[in-house]
Amino acid sequence: MKRFIDQLHEENIENVYIDEPLANHTTWKIGGPADVLIKPATIEELKKVVDLVMTHQLPWRMIGRGSNMLVRDGGIRGVVIKLAEGLDHLELNGEEIRVGGGYSLIKLATIISKKGLSGLEFAGGIPGSVGGAVFMNAGAHGSDISNILKEAHILFPDGSMKWLTNDEMDFSYRTSKLQKEKGVCVEAVFNLTSGDRDKIVKEMQKNKDYRRESQPWNYPCAGSVFRNPLPNYAGQLVEKAGLKGYQIGGAQISEMHGNFIVNVADAKAEDVLGLIEHVKRTVYDRFQVRMETEVEIVGQQS
């Protein structure tokens, strides 16, 4: 690992952090340390980092803005690459936009709506990055990423990079090819539609306000924890099971929305995992419905 870090410095890669607490990089404010965390400043720098990781045969993974993710208390061994500043570029070309994987999805939806481009109104209140949204096929209000994505620039675990078309992404409800192949979206191209600017902004703001009013963003959280087991809705099942407000350690099932687990008092990943298992057992016992997590659970136990 020391030689790897030395070579990063030799390549003038500056944003390198040793034993970095991942609680600083997740919206849940939970997570043990990464052996090494790197924030590449450009795609070219990202390629250099990945080449060095592959040369040294180190375990690695990438993160975006840390929403929709639970990092266990033991942290992540090896290298964590964070898509952040430098990988948040935005290029507009008529109704087509090209955007970096590190770009904030909420910020993108806000900017694009003000330019009179329609297609991202649904994302007005979805936290996280563009890369994470493509990975999860994020959606709300009857639409999702698969409806607007033209192609995505993907980094695969073997270090290769390739552009994939919408069809090649194998999108379905909250899933994509990337979850099966552990690929990461470093750039995306979206096809949007010109429309009435005022109407688009109003719709986007309505979706943003709905999220703010109905979901508990006053505490650290990671968004929806469970996939909706259609035709049921996860939050409604949790509420009907009488679990809103149920707490383990510093983690609590939100009293506002049953599909949110909030960090109310320095929660550990172990607390959140305990709540997840309790919800699964209780909902199955009451309704014979199996709940599956939407959040990605990574890292090692302490």
The CATH number covering residue 289 comes to 3.90.78.10
Give the CATH number of the domain where residue 65 resides.
3.30.43.10
Out of 113, 146, 224, 254, pick the active-site residue. Answer: 224
Check whether residue 77 and residue 109 sit in a common domain: no
Q: Report the number of distinct structural domains present in the chain.
A: 3
The answer to whether residue 227 sits within a structural domain is no
Residue 271 reports pLDDT greater than 80: yes
Out of 20, 187, 203, 294, pick the active-site residue. Answer: 294
Among the three residues 161, 180, 214, which one is the final residue of a domain in this structure?
Answer: 214
The answer to whether residue 220 sits within a structural domain is no
Which spans in 146-268 are helix H? 177-181, 197-214, 234-240
Check whether residue 71 and residue 170 sit in a common domain: no
Among the three residues 63, 82, 101, which one is the final residue of a domain in this structure?
Answer: 82
Check whether residue 150 and residue 47 sit in a common domain: no
**Residue 231, exposed/middle/buried by CB under 10 A (0-12, 13-18, 19+)?**
exposed
> Predicted confidence band at 287 (pLDDT cuts at 50, 70, 90)?
very high
Q: What is the mean pLDDT of residues 202-223?
A: 85
Give the CATH number of the domain where residue 161 resides.
3.30.465.10
Domain that holds residue 106: 90-214
Determine contact, residues 51/79, Cβ cutoff 8 Å. Answer: no
Which residues, listed in sequence order, are joined to residue 117 by a DSSP beta bridge? 194
Burial of 148-169, coded b for 16+ CB within 10 Å and e otherwise, reads bbebbbbbeeeeebeebebeeb
Q: Please indicate whether residue 224 is annotated as part of the active site.
A: yes
Report which of 62, 61, 153 is spatially closest to residue 100, judged by C-alpha positions: 153
For residues 249, 301, 178, 117, the Cα torsion angle rounded to the nearest 10 degrees is 30
H/E stretch holding 273 reads: helix 269-287
> Predicted confidence band at 268 (pLDDT cuts at 50, 70, 90)?
very high
Q: Please indicate whether residue 302 is annotated as part of the active site.
A: no
Report which of 161, 144, 164, 160 is spatially closest to residue 152, judged by C-alpha positions: 164
> Predicted confidence band at 11 (pLDDT cuts at 50, 70, 90)?
very high
The answer to whether residue 23 sits within a structural domain is yes
The Cβ of residue 198 has, within 10 Å, a number of other Cβ atoms equal to: 10
Residue 155 reports pLDDT greater than 80: yes
> Predicted confidence band at 85 (pLDDT cuts at 50, 70, 90)?
confident
Q: Please indicate whether residue 281 is annotated as part of the active site.
A: no
Out of 174, 187, 203, 211, pick the active-site residue. Answer: 174
Determine contact, residues 58/78, Cβ cutoff 8 Å. Answer: yes
Check whether residue 75 and residue 107 sit in a common domain: no
The answer to whether residue 97 sits within a structural domain is yes
The answer to whether residue 122 sits within a structural domain is yes
What are the pLDDT digits (tens) for 130-152? 999 999 999 888 899 999 999 99
Determine contact, residues 257/214, Cβ cutoff 8 Å. Answer: yes
